[in-house]
Amino acid sequence: MSAVTTTTTPGDAVDQTAAIEARNITVRFGGLVALSDVSLSVPPASIVGLVGPNGAGKTTLFGVLSGLLRPQEGEVFLGGRKVTGSAPSKRARLGLARTFQQLELFMGLTVREHIVLGYRIRHQRNRLWSDLITAGALHRSSTEERERVDHLIDLLGLASVADSGASVLPLGTARRVEVARALATAPSIVLLDEPSSGLDGHETAQLGAALRSVADEEKVSLLLVEHDVAMVLGLSSHVAVLDFGVRIAQGTPDEIRNDPAVRAAYLGDDEAVEGTGTTIEGSTTDGSTTTEGTGTDEA
């Protein structure tokens, strides 16, 4: 099984084993072609990276996968099931979770309560709403729920802040809370929207280690949309590269590092193709340092 499809023609059989698959996606905004016949397949229990220079179409593809954008052409499959026209809420019920570039944490809830909420969204939908109406009921947990929530708290390195209000946390910790909450919904795939944006080097390393543990211990796939190329190459088993709406490369991190088209796209000139010994490791797609958020992604 190839991790990222090489070629997909519309008549090909759907990859029933893929956690999520985009086939021949084209998105136009007026005259601008934001994505042109792009295919991507994320196998189960794997980390796949999606990178590319500014304006390459990463966020647009993310929107197509999560259901915020409907492509003019192409299809999206979640666990082998066609969801191209389905709302984000339906995709969530089918096992798609996502984190947002802008933090989406609730004031007044602790870290643990955020993760309990994620759990109940999936496992006890009716109780969730009665809990939210009768304040305080959120504290009554089943043994199964407590064990799962405790496990996620440990896995994401949140034990020391489990009972702290989420709104007072440093950004790097808050991002890990979002990942834990997403995992609590028992997804088959989590889309991570530039999770390292705005983090310093230490926080980025902590997040990377947490995502590695998640991939090793949970039966879940992660699709990382990132500006931090070094982080993506370090974490992913496969990486797809977009440039001007076209998938210009896909493969293992080593294949991506050595791909002349990728180096040309990142370095912006023919020197890269001729091979100057310059590598894209440690660089970011927009040329900024990894310690600063780009603020360019989804609103």
Sites of contact with ligand ATP (CB under 6 A): 29, 32, 34, 52, 54-60, 296-297
Which tokens go with 225? 């949309």
C-alpha pair distances (Å), 76 with each of 30, 61, 73, 88, 157: 22, 10, 10, 12, 33
CA–CA distance, 148 with 142 (Å, rounded to integer): 10
From ligand ATP, Mg ion, none, interface partner of 56 (C-beta below 5 to 8 A by class): ligand ATP
Question: Least distance to ligand ATP from the beta carbon of 33, Å?
Answer: 8
Assign 173 to helix, strand or coil.
Answer: helix
Alpha helices for 84-200 (secondary structure H): 88-93, 111-123, 125-133, 143-155, 171-184
Nearer Cβ to ligand ATP (18/56): 56
CA–CA distance, 75 with 209 (Å, rounded to integer): 33
From ligand ATP, Mg ion, none, interface partner of 210 (C-beta below 5 to 8 A by class): none
Name the residue number minimizing CB distance to Mg ion: 59
Nearer Cβ to ligand ATP (56/249): 56
* Count of residues of this chain found to bind Mg ion when the rule CB under 5 A is applied: 3
From Mg ion, ligand ATP, none, interface partner of 32 (C-beta below 5 to 8 A by class): ligand ATP
Nearer Cβ to ligand ATP (34/138): 34
Question: Least distance to ligand ATP from the beta carbon of 138, Å?
Answer: 36
Closest by CA position to 193, among listed 183, 212, 178, 214: 178
Summary count for the chain: helices (H), strands (E): 11, 10
Nearer Cβ to Mg ion (41/101): 101
x-marked contacts with Mg ion along 6-45 as a string, rule CB under 5 A: ----------------------------------------
Residue selected from 39, 59, 250, 285 as contacting Mg ion according to rule CB under 5 A: 59
297 binds Mg ion, rule: CB under 5 A? yes
5 binds Mg ion, rule: CB under 5 A? no
Question: Least distance to ligand ATP from the beta carbon of 240, Å?
Answer: 12
CA–CA distance, 136 with 134 (Å, rounded to integer): 6
Assign 76 to helix, strand or coil.
Answer: strand
Q: Which stretch binds Mg ion (CB under 5 A): 55-63, 136-144, 238-246, 257-265?
A: 55-63
Assign 207 to helix, strand or coil.
Answer: helix
Nearer Cβ to Mg ion (68/121): 68
Spell 67-81 as b/e; 16+ CB within 10 A means b: bebebeebbbbbbee
CA–CA distance, 21 with 5 (Å, rounded to integer): 9
> What does residue 189 show for φ and ψ, rounded to 5 degrees?
-145, 135
From ligand ATP, Mg ion, none, interface partner of 34 (C-beta below 5 to 8 A by class): ligand ATP
DSSP 130: H
Nearer Cβ to ligand ATP (100/151): 100
Question: Least distance to ligand ATP from the beta carbon of 69, Å?
Answer: 8
The contact set with Mg ion (CB under 5 A) reads 58-59, 297
